[in-house]
């Protein structure tokens, strides 16, 4: 995809296959719609009087308008003007991008970002426009037969209309949005791939491939022997039940031109992604219904890889390190079992009371490994608990942190990219539920507040740096007819990392 700005005041003379202009309910025209309406002798007002109510997520197509050069004008419904916001704008861009893809267009021009809305900048709206084009052009094909494959999207170019004074801002936003969209494509593809293809080894190969493609990235893929030498026995206890070998991925982004010894260099930010490429529950086996969806249990890892791809493309000026413990969680004669006590890399012993609470068992050792980087912040991303879906549904990711500054930065990054998180409690009072008679800590805390006790478990391994945990169990993929990975929370993470550059 190619993104650009279109800054002419004479919007009606823009040559394009499709021009998107927004209209509000109650017949209120956006400035761009007003230009087109004037040029076409009131064609838009006429349409609003008769067939178009301008509800959100609706559009109509007007062809060959007199006085208008664009082949088609797509009227996009924006809903009520007083409630119009950044999320509604992002939705409108998606309507247009989907239209362009469905109509097999090669290019289009959107004037939607030029409409002001509350608590949003043109840069953020340009970013949203590029992300919408990315979302609309994602296709999963790899394992589909020829007859089921959709034709590859023809859409290659989107321009957004803005004033010349705003063009530089818009360009920055488009560049960020494009990198985020490319990162999300990778994240969605890894999530959607079947678990017999997307194995721990495959995730390792993906990291190495990224390092080949981007010169700021360096990948190290540790294998079982090296993981054993690190004493990650909690992680290894989960991997025991599977024939697929575990890997521990370290993928580093070093800003271009950064001198390794520079004194004023900021400490790195570490992202830790849960990489369970299939979670059957282990001996504490899950029920059969929808178990296929547990191929998505590596979406934390996938979002971390997608985010590193994005910041590498942006040549982000901040050191970032991704850590991914990857394995399968399967039952077998060698699998870990309820009652086992394992010693984590930190030295703390863990009583495994439920082998299905495996995410925290692999993450805790990665969190200990993170200490060696003396990081400015560590953020782990995991499809950790069904309880988080009960608490927050599929709208917000769960955010847990004792560090108010870090938490606020992450929440803001989510708001800025329509990839929101909601802060959850993580007080010490909940730690009581993790008491064990036979180890320093138990791996489950009983039914109450399951998402919170999972976060509390992780917190025991994060004493030496500012830390936040994102539970993405409800946001990483969609179930049902449109089952598929969402690419979240790549936008939140990348926006956060952008905000942490000097």
Q: In this chain, which residue has its C-beta nearest to Zn ion? A: 279
192 part of the interface to ligand BES, by CB under 6 A: no
Rounded Cα gap, residues 4 and 178, in angstroms: 11
- The item of Mn ion, Zn ion, ligand BES, none sharing an interface with residue 387, based on CB under 5 to 8 Å by kind, is ligand BES
- Window 409-448: contact mask with ligand BES (x via CB under 6 A): -----------------------------------x----
Rounded Cα gap, residues 282 and 338, in angstroms: 10
The backbone torsions φ and ψ at residue 132, rounded to the nearest 5 degrees and listed phi first, read -65, -40
Closest to 152 (Cα-Cα) out of 130, 185, 129, 178:
185
Identify which of residues 169 and 356 has a Cβ nearer to ligand BES in the complex. Answer: 356
Burial classification of residue 432, based on how many CB atoms lie within 10 Å of its CB (0-12 exposed, 13-18 middle, 19 or more buried) = exposed
Q: In this chain, which residue has its C-beta nearest to Mn ion? A: 356
How many helices (H) does the chain have, and how many strands (E)?
A: 14, 21
Among 313, 356, 380, 416, binds Mn ion (CB under 5 A): 356
DSSP 3-state percent helix, strand, coil across the chain (nearest 5): 40, 20, 40
Q: Which two tokens stand for residue 271?
A: 């992202």
Which residues in the 271-310 window bind Zn ion by CB under 5 A?
A: 276, 279, 297
Burial classification of residue 32, based on how many CB atoms lie within 10 Å of its CB (0-12 exposed, 13-18 middle, 19 or more buried) = buried
Rounded Cα gap, residues 44 and 46, in angstroms: 5
Shortest spacing between CB 282 and Mn ion, in angstroms: 7
387 part of the interface to ligand BES, by CB under 6 A: yes
Stretch that binds ligand BES, among 142-150, 168-176, 377-385, 462-470 (CB under 6 A): 377-385
471 part of the interface to Zn ion, by CB under 5 A: no
Shortest spacing between CB 333 and Mn ion, in angstroms: 20
- 360 counts as catalytic: yes
Q: Which two tokens stand for residue 162?
A: 């803005």
- The item of Zn ion, ligand BES, Mn ion, none sharing an interface with residue 385, based on CB under 5 to 8 Å by kind, is ligand BES
| Residues pairing with 401 in the sheet | 468
- Window 357-376: contact mask with ligand BES (x via CB under 6 A): xxx-----------------
Residues 6+ apart with CB under 8 A from 9: none
Shortest spacing between CB 403 and ligand BES, in angstroms: 25
Sign of the dihedral through C-alpha 193, 194, 200, 205: negative
Q: In this chain, which residue has its C-beta nearest to ligand BES? A: 386
Residue 392, helix vs strand vs coil: helix
Which residues in the 264-283 window bind Mn ion by CB under 5 A?
A: 279
Strands 467-471 and 377-382: parallel
313 part of the interface to Mn ion, by CB under 5 A: no
- 286 counts as catalytic: yes
Identified catalytic residue from 72, 125, 309, 360: 360
Rounded Cα gap, residues 73 and 63, in angstroms: 6
- Window 107-146: contact mask with ligand BES (x via CB under 6 A): ----------------------------------------
365 part of the interface to Mn ion, by CB under 5 A: no
Rounded Cα gap, residues 302 and 322, in angstroms: 11
Stretch that binds ligand BES, among 320-328, 343-351, 382-390, 494-502 (CB under 6 A): 382-390
Which residues in the 253-282 window bind ligand BES by CB under 6 A?
A: 279
How many alpha carbons fall within 13 Å on the CB side of residue 56? 13
Contact set with Mn ion (CB under 5 A)? 279, 356, 358
Contact set with ligand BES (CB under 6 A)? 279, 297, 354, 356-359, 383-387, 444, 450, 473
- Cite the active site residues: 286, 360
């Amino acid at each position: 995809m190619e993104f650009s700005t279109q800054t002419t005041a004479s919007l009606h003379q823009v040559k394009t296959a499709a021009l998107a202009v927004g209209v509000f309910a109650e017949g209120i025209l956006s400035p761009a719609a007003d230009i087109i309406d004037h040029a076409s002798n009131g064609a838009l007002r006429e349409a609003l009087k008769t067939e178009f109510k301008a509800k959100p997520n609706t559009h109509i197509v007007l062809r060959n308008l007199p006085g208008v050069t664009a082949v088609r004008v797509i009227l996009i419904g924006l809903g009520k003007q007083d409630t119009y916001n950044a999320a509604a704008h992002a939705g409108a861009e998606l309507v247009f991008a989907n239209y362009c893809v469905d109509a097999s267009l090669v290019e289009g021009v959107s004037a939607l970002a030029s409409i002001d809305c509350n608590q949003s900048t043109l840069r953020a709206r340009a970013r949203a426009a590029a992300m919408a084009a990315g979302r609309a052009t994602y296709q999963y094909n790899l394992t589909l037969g020829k007859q089921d494959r959709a034709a590859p999207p023809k859409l290659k170019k989107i321009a957004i209309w803005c004033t010349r004074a705003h063009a530089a801002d818009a360009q920055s936003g488009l560049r960020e949005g494009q990198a985020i969209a490319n990162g999300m494509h990778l994240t969605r593809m890894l999530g959607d791939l079947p678990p017999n293809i997307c194995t721990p080894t495959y995730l390792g190969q993906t990291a190495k491939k990224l390092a080949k493609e981007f010169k700021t990235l360096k990948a190290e893929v540790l294998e079982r022997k090296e993981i054993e030498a690190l004493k990650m026995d909690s992680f290894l206890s989960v991997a025991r039940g599977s024939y697929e070998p575990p890997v521990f991925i370290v993928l580093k982004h070093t800003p271009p031109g950064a001198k390794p010894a520079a004194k004023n260099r900021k400490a790195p930010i570490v992202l830790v992604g849960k990489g369970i490429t299939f979670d059957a529950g282990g001996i504490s086996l899950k029920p059969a219904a929808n178990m296929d969806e547990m191929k998505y249990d590596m979406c934390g890892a996938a979002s971390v890889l997608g985010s590193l791809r994005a910041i590498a493309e942006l040549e982000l000026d901040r050191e970032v390190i991704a850590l991914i413990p990857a394995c399968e969680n399967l039952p077998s004669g060698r699998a870990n079992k309820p009652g086992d006590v394992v010693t984590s890399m930190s030295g703390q012993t863990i009583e495994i009371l439920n082998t299905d609470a495996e995410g925290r068992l692999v993450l805790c050792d990665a969190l200990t490994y993170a200490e060696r980087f003396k990081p400015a912040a560590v953020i782990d991303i995991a499809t950790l608990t069904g309880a988080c879906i009960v608490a927050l549904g599929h709208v917000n990711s769960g955010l847990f942190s004792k560090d108010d500054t870090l938490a606020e930065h992450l929440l803001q990054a989510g708001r800025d990219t329509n990839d929101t998180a909601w802060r959850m409690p993580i007080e010490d009072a909940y730690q009581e539920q993790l008491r064990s008679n036979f180890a320093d800590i138990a791996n489950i805390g009983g039914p109450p507040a399951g998402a919170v006790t999972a976060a509390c478990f992780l917190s025991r391994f994060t004493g030496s740096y500012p830390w936040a945990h994102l539970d993405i169990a409800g946001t990483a993929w969609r179930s049902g007819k449109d089952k598929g990975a969402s690419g979240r929370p790549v936008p939140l993470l990348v926006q956060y990392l952008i905000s942490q550059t000097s």
